[in-house]
Structure 1
Amino acid sequence: MNKNEIPSINNRKTPLLSATILIKDLKALLKAGVLAANVLPVFSGFWLALHFSNKAFVNYWELFLLTIIGSTLVMGGALILNNWYDVDIDTIMERTKNRPTVTGNIPLNIVLILGIVFTILGFTLLLFTTIEAAIYGFVGWFTYVFLYTMWSKRRYTFNTLIGSVSGAVTPLIGWAAIESSANIVPIILFLILFVFQMPHTFAIAMKKCKEYSAAGVAMLPVVRGFAVTKVQIVVYVACLLPLPFFLTSLGTAFIVLATLFNLGWLAVSIGGFFTKDDLKWAHVVFLYSVNYITILFLLMVIVTV
């Protein structure tokens, strides 16, 4: 055998390497970080509904699994379909160019099938919880896939408002699996998530402004500029200030801590008017927002244990 015919070890993928690449691609396809961030509010909503209805978690663990797995599959299906539809702009943007839809590691027809299958399985499981929970799941899925991804994302700066609705229904899914969400607590949870997503997304859009511009995505910093975006960030963060005071049932400690977190974020946001490095400041706002929402929803659970 000629040495040129001997396959190079470096050019062959071992089973372990192939499995690692597949896992990495699936995480990218499902936007694992985004998915995990959306599962927490579902859990918090479920937990708080049990707390305020004086029900024990141990008696509802099967319903909990149906709710968590069902909502995760629905959200995963929406995120996969977003990747399938956005492959053209993902090819242009630096932060998305390694997604399996762009690299071709997972064929687009397979991605479409996965998105549909995840969605159907998710809704099937949610229907075994309550109709109301399934409806909230559908509202989130439809808003994200059709109203945000396919309609508004590339055309209008209010795409962020529409996208925020899909992320804000998550605690309603969890709560509605136990009892009706016609209650001030889940409504405020919805509002907190809805308002939070605006400055959070604006910060990301500022960080990746050039990429969004090249891809033709109508994010606020691309269309209106950084100055307008900074004002919008401050306005939306300020809108968070009164919301904890509608959750007096969670206790004084929660209200005080949530208010301190809100004031801290407002201070960071106002700092944007005095910064010399807009991108560095936007990154700080982004990091604050991620930690803010995670701590806040974990805190809701901790104070009710």
Structure 2
Amino acid sequence: MVDRSVSQQTAADQNIAIESFTGENKTTWRDYIEITKPGINKSNLFATFAGYWLATGFTSFDFVTLLFAMLGSGLTIAGSCTLNNFYDRDIDPLMERTRSRPVPDGRIKPSVALWYGIFLTTLGIIVLTAGVNPLSAFLGFIGFFVYVFIYTMWLKRTSTLNTVIGGICGSVPPMIGWVAGTGSLDLTAWALFLILFMWQPPHFFALAMMKADDYRAAGIPMLPIVKGFKETKKQTLIFTLLLLPSSYLLFYTGAVGWFYLVIALILGGVYIALAIKGFNTKEDDRWARQMFFYSLIYLTVILLAMIIDVAITEALQF
């Protein structure tokens, strides 16, 4: 015998999915902003700015170049996120946190989302090519390709490596900023990449634990769903341990000084301590929320530390 409540829920989910194709709900300009995931865009643009500032400081700062780098990066990220919303229109209605997005809620038709995403991405790549340099545009394209084709269309639905490999796209923005200021990919650019790359798995592992029921309902093979919370905690600790020496590479390349190094040591030490704490708690949801919240603090503060360190160094030279 089929559980009546389960049948009703399944029917409701199917109705939501069908409604996402009709576009019957009223569309507003806010929907066209929401579909680009502005929260993700803001954090990535902050990383882009940090990369550019690290490359130029006050001495060779060019506002026009920075403007084009930020605009091109923002448009490319916005387009990629829009295409992610378009492709995930079949699973977003199944998750509580995503079912009210413009496409599954029917406020933006899938076809509109598709062309909107293509337009934004193409425009972003053109702006980076013409306004900054071809290398920054190439990096932007790599970020787009990994996020849309490797992560969204492939790994997100097939492998627990989705978060790790998908982290490549989130590690590109500071590289774009650096390349905009220097025109080249050197060890410092890769150090910036490595910091963001090692930061992302613990960040998204925590989110996956917090939203485990949502991901399970949608059939997305996130690490906590497939391997369990214990394995997720182990991998979280591994990446936080790797993040600490990764953050020191910027000091090794000479891009930053002692101020940044001390801040990175404190931030990394606290992150590792929190990761270890996870093995001694039975309140997994509370721990995951602490880890997620701290990951946001870590990223914001370490990027600020880069910016402030460069400002301090140049001020001392006068």
Map 1:8-27; keep pairs closer than 5 Å: 22-27=28-33
2:153 equivalent to 1:150: yes
2:90 counterpart residue number? 88
Inter-CA distance 145–267: structure 2 relative to 1 (3 Å threshold) = same
2:222 equivalent to 1:219: yes
Residue aligned with 1:30, SS: coil
Map 1:156-235; keep pairs closer than 5 Å: 156-235=159-238
The aligned length equals 283
2:79 counterpart residue number? 77
| Distance of 1:24 and 1:207 partners within structure 2 | 27
Residue aligned with 2:111, SS: helix
Map 1:1-305; keep pairs closer than 5 Å: 22-51=28-57, 55-57=59-61, 60-128=62-130, 129-248=132-251, 249=254, 250-305=256-311
- 8 A contact 1:25–1:100 mirrored in 2: yes
The alpha-carbon deviation at position 241 of structure 1 amounts to 1.4
Q: Partner amino acid for 1:169?
A: V
- 8 A contact 2:192–2:250 mirrored in 1: no
| Distance of 1:231 and 1:77 partners within structure 2 | 34
| Distance of 1:182 and 1:146 partners within structure 2 | 24
Residue aligned with 2:28, SS: helix
1:12 counterpart residue number? none
The alpha-carbon deviation at position 184 of structure 1 amounts to 2.3
Q: Partner amino acid for 1:271?
A: K
Residue aligned with 2:181, SS: coil
TM-score under structure 1 length normalisation: 0.89
Query: Deviations 1:55-83 (Å, cap 9, x if unpaired)?
Result: 432xx211111110011000000000000
Residue aligned with 1:258, SS: helix
2:14 counterpart residue number? none
Q: Partner amino acid for 1:125?
A: V
The alpha-carbon deviation at position 134 of structure 1 amounts to 0.6
TM-score under structure 2 length normalisation: 0.86
Unaligned runs of 5+ in 2: 1-24, 312-318
| Distance of 2:80 and 2:250 partners within structure 1 | 31
- 8 A contact 2:155–2:162 mirrored in 1: yes
| Distance of 2:78 and 2:201 partners within structure 1 | 21
Unaligned runs of 5+ in 1: 1-17
Q: Partner amino acid for 1:63?
A: T
**Structure 1 runs (4+) greater than 3 angstroms displaced:** none
The alpha-carbon deviation at position 23 of structure 1 amounts to 4.6
- 8 A contact 1:265–1:288 mirrored in 2: yes
The alpha-carbon deviation at position 253 of structure 1 amounts to 1.5
The alpha-carbon deviation at position 186 of structure 1 amounts to 1.6
The alpha-carbon deviation at position 25 of structure 1 amounts to 2.3
| Distance of 1:27 and 1:279 partners within structure 2 | 31
Give me the CA root mean square deviation. Answer: 1.6
- 8 A contact 1:172–1:181 mirrored in 2: no
Inter-CA distance 244–195: structure 2 relative to 1 (3 Å threshold) = closer
Q: Partner amino acid for 1:43?
A: F
